[in-house]
Chains A and B, each alone.
Chain A
Amino acid sequence: MRKAFFEKLKAITKGDKNIFLLAADLGVKFFYEFQNIDNKRFINVGVAEQNMIGMAAGLSMSGKNVYCYSIIPFLIMRTFEQIRIDLCYNNLNVKLLGAGGGVVYGLEGVTHHAIEDIAVMRSLPNMTIVVPGDTVEAEILAEQSVTHQGPLYIRFGRDIEPLVHENKPDFKIGRGIIIREGKDICLIAAGTMLYSAKIICGFLKNKGYNVGLISMHTIKPLDVGLVKKCAKNYSAIFTLEDHNIIGGLGSAVSEVIAESRYGGIFQKIGILDKYTSDIGKPDYLMEKFGLDPKTITDYILKECKNI
Chain B
Amino acid sequence: MISIPVEEIQKYKDLARGTRRDILDMIYKTKSPHIGGCFSMVELLIALYFRILSINPKEPNDPNRDRFILSKGHGCPALYVVLAKRGFIDQNTLAGFARNKGTLEQHPTRSLLRGIEVSSGSLGHGLSLGVGMALAAKYDKKDYKIFVFLGDGELHEGSNWEAMMLASHHKLDNLIAIVDYNKLQAMGKGEEIIDLDPLREKWLSFSWAVKEIDGHNFEEIINALEAIPFQFQKPTCIIANTIKGKGVSFMENEIIWHDKCPDEKEYKEALKEIFK
Which residues of A come within 8 Å of B, CB atoms? 40-41, 43, 45-46, 48, 50-51, 53-64, 81-82, 85-86, 89-90
Contacts and interface: CB of A to CB of B under 8 A. Distances in A.
Contact of B132 (A41, A61, A85): A61
B158 A62 contact: no
B253 interface: no
B125 A82 contact: yes
Nearest to A84: B122
Nearest to A58: B132
B137 A54 contact: no
B5 interface: no
Majority SS of interface residues in chain A? helix
B163 A51 contact: yes
A60 B120 CA distance: 16
Contacts of B124: 50
Contact of A48 (B121, B135, B139, B166): B166
Contacts of B137: 62
Interface residues of B, number: 30
A90 B128 contact: no
A43 B256 CA distance: 44
B139 A40 contact: yes
A67 B129 CA distance: 15
The 4 closest A-B pairs by CB, nearest first: A58-B132, A54-B128, A62-B136, A51-B162
Contacts, number: 91
Nearest to B126: A54
Interface string B38-67: 000000000000000000000000010000
B127 to A, nearest CB: 8
B121 to A, nearest CB: 8
Contact of A50 (B110, B133, B158): B158
B131 interface: yes
Contact of B163 (A54, A60, A63, A89): A54
Contacts of B262: none
B125 A90 contact: no
Interface in B78-130: 109-110, 117-122, 124-125, 127-130
A53 to B, nearest CB: 7
Contacts of B117: 61
A89 B130 CA distance: 17
B128 A53 contact: yes
Given A50-B158, A50-B159, A51-B159, A61 B129 contact: yes
Contacts of B109: 89
Majority SS of interface residues in chain B? helix
A158 B134 CA distance: 36
B193 interface: no
B165 interface: yes
A129 B128 CA distance: 24
A90 B158 CA distance: 22
A57 B122 CA distance: 15
A134 to B, nearest CB: 33
A307 to B, nearest CB: 51
Most buried by A among B109, B118, B121: B118
B64 to A, nearest CB: 11
B166 A54 contact: no
A89 B136 contact: no
Contacts of B163: 51, 54-55
Interface string B131-157: 111111101100000000000000000
Nearest to B140: A62
A85 B139 contact: no
A81 B120 CA distance: 11
A61 B134 CA distance: 11
Contacts of A62: 132-133, 136-137, 140
B191 to A, nearest CB: 26
Nearest to B139: A40
